[in-house]
Structure 1
Amino acid sequence: MGKIVVVGSLHYDIMLSAHHRPEKGETVMGTGCAYKFGGKGGNQAIAAAVAGAEVCFAGSVGDDQPGQFLLQTLQKHSVYTGYVSVLKGQPSGMSVAISDAEGDYGAVVVSNANQHIDLSTFSQEAFWQDVDMLVLQNEVPEAVNLSAAQQAKQRGISVSINAAPVRDISPALQNCIDVLVVNAVEARDMCQVEVKDLRSASLAAQTLAQRFAKVIVTAGEHGVAFCQSGQAVHNLPAVKVKLVSTHGAGDCFMGVLCTSLINHIPLEHAVEKANEAAALHVSRVS
């Protein structure tokens, strides 16, 4: 198995369940509450480790109980945490998510320690030893992503990004990216194609492949489209399952996809494996 470095976010998640998510000014009575490990970076690191990759994580937590919990959870899943900074007097990142009766959710994230990741980490040769792929997301400052990506490219290491939440990607960072993964909303905002089915997801993937070497557009219950620059676009329907919750599905997809790619599995089969793993994820209570 190959080695993945994940640079990204760690959040202590408060998960609320309710019949529906509140509208502006509305108070909703909830049906459940849970406290969980989270952050796109952390979730993707664990998903990759579970899929069989050797995983190293770089990020920051506060010197508080949530920070201890986040580090312990990574370590429990065999993710190396030697490059996670513990910041004195700084609170760890957190989020509050509300899941409705249909299994969809919305969340509010407060980055806290995730805004202070040490860029000097990425200039250390030991950090990149035997690494096959760098995995990024947009829950940390662009300066963090750019610094890590440029150092990876200098060493011939592949760079993947889950561009979520959506924001502008600078030309300098775009030039470093080998694999772009976005959902329907992110694809729409990046290429102005409204993704509402597999046909439009394929159009979005094809459009984005004019800017990125490999593009995957996940379209929820419709499936997933993918395209390599200069080649035909392909898609796969969603695996039919009973939906429990969509929370974390994209992170599961990303972890399995990247693990497959570093083990030289062709893009089509890597996407298929990730699609199946995400379907299993949404069909069970995590």
Structure 2
Amino acid sequence: LYGIPNFKLPKDIVQAVIGDLERAGVLFITNTRIGESKTIDKLFEDGHQAVFVGVGTLVDAKMDVPGIDLPGVFQATEFLIRANVDPDYLPPDVSSKPEVGRRVAVIGGGDTASDCLRSALRLGAEEVTCLYRRTEAEMPGGKKDRELAREEGAKYRFLTQPIRYIAGPNGRVSAVECLQCELGELDDSGRRRPIPIEDSNFTVEADTVILALGYWPDPIIGDTTPNLETHKWGLIVADPDTGATSRPGIFAGGDAVTGPDLVATAMIAGRKAAT
């Protein structure tokens, strides 16, 4: 939640809602990882009659690309949190704003990529470019977010597949080596598969690279909750109208069920489960 930029979701609104819930009697217990600190079955043993799982999708998807560990290459979550959260709320080792330099490349095509583009511009980057391996028609992110990013100065390069992150003389990333792509047949997502074109290599200069490749659910809840049905990707199987899962008393909704989606969609799922 706190990785969502303030220009999309001001955190004073979040804090106000949390305050309203606390005054209504909701107790927030933080620093507790369900499946590790305490299992769902233990919650039932403690006397709870129902459990709603709304943990979202927290694990950054990654690419096995040479140079991914270079300084200046960020996962989207870390970048967005450091770029948008008040440093006083962050651990000392990640409390400083990212130094993005003049040129930033964002890899990905969803709403998170748009958030990264706009956040990089607010940090002072002069050239911010989104690299996406399909065409704009196949991008999963919202059209409105792309329009706003373009209005603020972001650019897009389509049919572009990164294959290597290149270090400069100081050891920090300085460029992205890419291949041009063409579209083939439909894949499992219903979109045309990007096919890299042999010997079409080119480079995009970048002082910072941000990987906005999507998110996966943390598998720990499925792994530690017997008979809770999940998809092969780890998403929880739940009734879309009630939130009921394969385990009596366990309900789920939001990104943990649908994959990455809107805050409003998750709120609707919670309301359905509550009624």
Higher relative contact order (CA 8 A, sep 6+): 2
**Structure with greater strand percent:** 1
TM range (shorter): under 0.3
**Structure with greater helix percent:** 1
* TM-score, normalised relative to structure 1: 0.27
* TM-score, normalised relative to structure 2: 0.27
